[in-house]
């Protein structure tokens, strides 16, 4: 039996890291998974791992910055109980300033790519009959605790995560009336290929499976904001509440996130 009350799930960025862990966390007999990623080899491996858990898997090589292809994939999935807009990229200033091309890529994937996934999903869910708990569907966007801190070492990344966190939380207020829930997922540091490049200590670093469990449990409980771990969340809120000049002076002494690539 599925561990969660959804039997049809769509996940972007499912080929590795948190996305793969989320897919595996949902995988069970009777569950249909729609998985997308840019790396065909890693995506195939993730799909096989989910099939080994008993799920039916339909995988597609996809770049979420392609709006038409993403919308067609979402609409072609049929009924969806849960959509997780997880695909994202990271990058910082390194030892210099953030390249314009990098900032544009981060926003294209982390913001526009999320909208390319979530908006067609919401449109499709609005036409579905209510399912478990009287809901037509759920859409979770993967933000970050970085959403609460304007870190000088990762300006585009922090801003992109803040944008999708605020968007999901604001939209949930109106979509509830249509039987659709949104969830802003704000993890701390998760051990993934993305964070492996960080040149600084990562407090409360957690394994992808644990992060996926916390994410899915929070969604199942109906939490609008799923933020963890608590000590790091509180620290991020505290740092984010400092006067901007103070915060920038404090964070300038910390190592910056490396540039993308």
Predicted TM-score (pTM) of this structure? 0.90
* pLDDT of 242 higher than 60: yes
Domain 8-252: give its CATH superfamily.
Answer: NAD(P)-binding Rossmann-like Domain (3.40.50.720)
Spatial contact of 35 and 57, defined as CB atoms under 8 Å apart: yes
246 — pLDDT class (breaks 50, 70, 90): low
Averaged confidence pLDDT in the chain: 91
φ and ψ of 228, to 5 deg: -160, 160
Give the range among 39-43, 47-51, 150-154, 160-164 with minimum mean pLDDT: 150-154
Q: Is the pLDDT of residue 94 over 70?
A: no
Q: What is the pLDDT averaged over residues 122-145? A: 93
Selected residue with higher pLDDT from 1 and 156: 156
Q: What is the pLDDT of residues 13-51, one digit of tens each?
A: 999 999 999 999 999 999 999 999 999 999 999 999 999
157 is catalytic: yes
pLDDT at 191: 86
**8 Å CB contact between 106 and 158:** no
Under 8 Å between Cβ of 104 and 148 = no
Rounded Cα–Cα distance for residues 142 and 75 (Å): 21
Does 125 have pLDDT greater than 80? yes
More confident: 153 or 174: 174
Reference 250, options 261, 233, 238; nearest CA is: 238
- For residues 117 and 120, give the distance between their C-alpha atoms in angstroms, rounded to a whole number: 6
* Catalytically annotated residue among 157, 189, 228, 233: 157
Poorest-confidence range of 78-87, 125-134, 222-231?
Answer: 125-134
The Cβ of residue 245 has, within 10 Å, a number of other Cβ atoms equal to 8
Residues 31/41, Cβ–Cβ less than 8 Å: no
Cis peptide before 195 (omega within 30 of 0): no
- Token duo for residue 55: 């799920």
Per-residue model confidence (pLDDT) at position 254: 59
Average the pLDDT over 99-122 and give the result. 96
């Amino acid at each position: 039996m599925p561990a969660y009350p959804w039997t049809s799930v769509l996940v972007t960025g499912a080929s590795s890291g948190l996305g793969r862990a989320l897919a595996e966390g949902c995988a069970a007999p009777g569950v249909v998974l729609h998985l997308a990623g840019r790396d065909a080899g890693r995506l195939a491996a993730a799909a096989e791992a989910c099939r080994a858990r008993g799920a039916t898997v339909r995988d597609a090589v996809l770049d979420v910055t392609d709006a038409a292809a993403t919308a067609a994939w979402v609409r072609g999935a049929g009924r969806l109980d849960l959509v997780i807009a997880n695909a994202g990229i990271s990058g910082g200033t390194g030892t210099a300033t953030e390249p314009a091309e990098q900032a544009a890529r981060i926003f294209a994937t982390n913001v526009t790519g999320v909208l390319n996934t979530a908006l067609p999903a919401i449109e499709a869910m609005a036409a579905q009959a209510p399912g478990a708990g009287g809901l037509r569907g759920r859409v979770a966007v993967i933000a970050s605790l970085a959403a609460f801190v304007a870190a000088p070492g990762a300006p585009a990344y922090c801003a992109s995560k803040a944008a999708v966190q605020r968007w999901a939380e604001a939209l949930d207020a109106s979509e509830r009336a249509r039987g659709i829930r949104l969830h802003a997922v704000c993890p701390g540091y998760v051990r993934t290929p993305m964070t492996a490049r960080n040149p600084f200590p990562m407090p409360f670093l957690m394994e992808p499976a644990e992060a996926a469990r916390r994410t899915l449990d929070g969604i199942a409980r109906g939490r609008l904001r799923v933020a963890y771990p608590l000590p790091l969340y509180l620290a991020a809120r505290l740092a984010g509440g400092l006067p901007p000049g103070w915060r920038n002076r404090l964070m300038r002494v910390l190592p910056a996130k490396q540039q993308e690539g």
